[in-house]
Structure 1
Amino acid sequence: MQSAAESEVRHLDKWSFDMDLAAISAFVAVGDKGGFRAAAAALGITSAGVSKAVSRLETKLGVMLVARTTRSVRLTAAGSVFHVRCKAILADLDQAARDAAEGSAQPQGQLVISLPRVFGRMRVLPIIADYTKQYPEVEIEVRLSDRLSDLVVEGVDLAIRIGDLPDSSLIATRIGQTGFVMCGSPEYLATMGIPAHPDDLNRHSVVGYVAPDTAVRFTYRFLIDGAIKTVSLPSRLNVDDGEALVGAGTRSVGLVMANEYLMEQQIAEGSLVCGLREFETPPVPISVVQLPTKNPSPAARALVAMLRRRLAG
């Protein structure tokens, strides 16, 4: 059998009225704090303002929610039931607002990520480590490979690609950029000389790079007289691994051209010296790609956002 308080509140479920969130918030604060003065302090308004808001709510509902005496304030039986329901509603609204502001619910679940091997290890894995600390409910599988992964066949959620992207159905988000530089060891340059122009490269040894998935050789491009031009350079040694390419350069096998991030440590240490800087082509984009979907997972959205923040510079 229902109590009188529950009966009074039941008709509120059928009541149609404009939601007065300010009044409801004031009423919930009174119930939580045990009085108008404490509720006013918590809300940052006057006690009179709280009292008027609660009275307005009682008038609209036609139910006494708060029993007032000169010495105390307490919720009525109906007010106690209504307080529980309103507090839950306000909590739901607050969470909904947080979700909307963040663009998603709390990230959770699994992510499979494909990364270029060296770039992934040097630049992305530290970011992923921070991501896992911030979102402990997300389980991540990282696949390091210089081969372009097939997102559908291999079940990959996100993949990072370096360079201009071909037209495809994949959704791409630019998260940074990188430039190509040509370097040589101090010993090599002391012996062969420092090239002053791309035309000088014909008398130099060059270590070539071959794409591991297509076996296509790297194309050397330079900005000459305001236009990007391709220079054909024969190479006696070709490798399909970025670290092997850099290693050959530090061992004075020949000049090497690669993304600057591959050689930043060697450049800083002085084991490689860059040349032809004024002929460098514009940086190429670094992008994260994913399959088209109307609703990417919260975990994927959060990681893409973090990558953009950390790699944009």
Structure 2
Amino acid sequence: MDKLRALKYFIKVADTLSFTEAGRAFDVPASSISRRIAELENSVGAVLLHRTTRSVSLTEMGETYLAQVRSGMAQLAAAEELLKDQASRPSGTLRISCTPSYGRMKLLPVLQDFSDIYPDVLLDVDLSDELQDLGGDKYDIALRAGSEPENRVVARRLDPNIFILAASTTYLATRGTPRTVEDLKGHSALMYRGSKSVLKWLGFDGKNWITPRIVPTFISNDVASLTAMACKHRGMVLLPEWSLREYLQRGELVTVDLSQPVGISRTEVGIYMLYLQSRYLIPKIRLAVEFIYQRLAQRNDDGSLK
């Protein structure tokens, strides 16, 4: 039995829950897929799949076996890719997932420069707020906003992701400039929609974290649209400093400084670059990680990281 081939068939059937779909993926008959997996089950001494005339599903043993096999196959693929890359200049596909707004405003310009230097690396970039699993083959690098991720991945902070309240001077002249969290009551709010819900504003009133009684007047998952509406005097925005920096420098928006903290989270957050240490050995991934880090990691005036 070609066990490596049988394992690939098993993973594909587990992902698609279909012998027919797996057969199409490998351009072989579904009966060949079924026969190979039956041989694999005999080899390991366990039933991995429930089969009926209409459906296929993993057994409990199959789920356990799949988790181990998928990890091992990913490591094997990484080892093979490492040898190929060491024998030549960096090449192949580099898969990156990034939260949309940060991706458009910060990451994509950096990747354009990376492509100029390493033209043989094909960049496959997905802009999505959905957190992706780095344990499989889908993504090599992910950039995400939030608290520091779990220890199973390497997490390097690129930006403290400090949220700033801002508005146009025309809006503030018309509606008044708030000084406290309570002063936000009745103000027009331009709010960001995350992957699961609209991000609520939080303010500390001196005793507790509360939700200010603001009036949402525009909601979007696109930072550029929110800032454009703010520049048109439609309301205030609460967004990361990196997304407002140019508007503040040009004077299109100004910071609204409250005497009390305001944000979207009570805990420290940041923009993190995530990757698996085992795949960092692959030249194209190592080069991209360091290139992105050098270009995007925010530093203090003395050169130290924020």
Asked whether the two chains share a fold, i.e. TM above 0.5, the reply is yes
Cross-structure match for 2:131: 148
Aligned to 2:150, what secondary structure does the other structure show? coil
Paired residues, number: 208
Cross-structure match for 1:110: 93
* CA 1:105–1:169: 2 relative to 1, 3 Å: farther
Amino acid corresponding to residue 250 of structure 2 in structure 1:
E
State the distance in 1 between where 2:159 and 2:188 align.
Answer: 31
- Contact (CA 8 Å) 1:186, 1:272: kept in 2 or not? yes
Cross-structure match for 1:235: 215
State the distance in 1 between where 2:257 and 2:233 align.
Answer: 18
Q: Deviations over 1:31-73 (max 9, x none)?
A: xxxxxxxxxxxxxxxxxxxxxxxxxxxxxxxxxxxxxxxxxxx
* CA 1:136–1:236: 2 relative to 1, 3 Å: closer
The percent identity for this pair of structures is 28
State the distance in 2 between where 1:301 and 1:229 align.
Answer: 41
State the distance in 2 between where 1:294 and 1:139 align.
Answer: 17
Cross-structure match for 1:203: 186
Aligned to 2:111, what secondary structure does the other structure show? helix
* CA 1:245–1:297: 2 relative to 1, 3 Å: same
* CA 1:146–1:155: 2 relative to 1, 3 Å: same
The correspondence of residues 1-313 of structure 1 with structure 2, limited to 5 A, is 106-151=89-134, 155-167=138-150, 169-211=152-194, 213-214=195-196, 216-222=197-203, 229-237=209-217, 238-276=219-257, 279=261, 284-291=269-276, 293=278, 296-312=281-297, 313=299
- Consecutive unaligned residues in structure 2, runs of 5 or more: 1-85, 300-306
- Normalised by the length of structure 2, the TM-score is 0.58
Instruction: Say which is worse superposed, 116-125 or 228-237, in terms of deviation.
Output: 228-237
* CA 1:166–1:287: 2 relative to 1, 3 Å: closer
- Consecutive unaligned residues in structure 1, runs of 5 or more: 1-102
Q: Deviations over 1:62-120 (max 9, x none)?
A: xxxxxxxxxxxxxxxxxxxxxxxxxxxxxxxxxxxxxxxxx998533220111222322
Q: What is the root-mean-square deviation of aligned Cα atoms in Å?
A: 3.1
State the distance in 2 between where 1:245 and 1:104 align.
Answer: 47
- Normalised by the length of structure 1, the TM-score is 0.57
State the distance in 2 between where 1:308 and 1:277 align.
Answer: 32
